[in-house]
Amino acid sequence: MKATRYFTEQVLRKRPYIQPEWCEQIIRQPLKKEMQPDGRVRYWGYVPDLGRYLRVVTLEDGETVHNAFPDRNFTQEEE
């Protein structure tokens, strides 16, 4: 998995429970995908081991992970 320095040095340090495999799976099979105005891409997926929805943000290429965090406000019904 490709990741930014911010993700590996900051995000994983603050949220050590996040597994890179979860991010990869969500990018491959997202429940929802959305482009941000700055070109980055948001992906959402449910992580059973976490019991929550995870938002994964990639750079413009759609594969380099920049951020990941549990999204308290996401519900699967959103479209």
Ordered by start, the domain boundaries in the chain are: 5-70
The contacts of residue 48 (CB under 8 Å, 6+ apart) are none
Query: Where is pLDDT greater, at 79 or 25?
Result: 25
DSSP H stretches of helix in the chain: 5-6, 12-14, 20-28
- Summarize pLDDT for 19-51 with one digit per residue, the tens: 999 999 999 999 999 999 999 999 999 999 999
- Summarize pLDDT for 60-71 with one digit per residue, the tens: 999 999 999 999
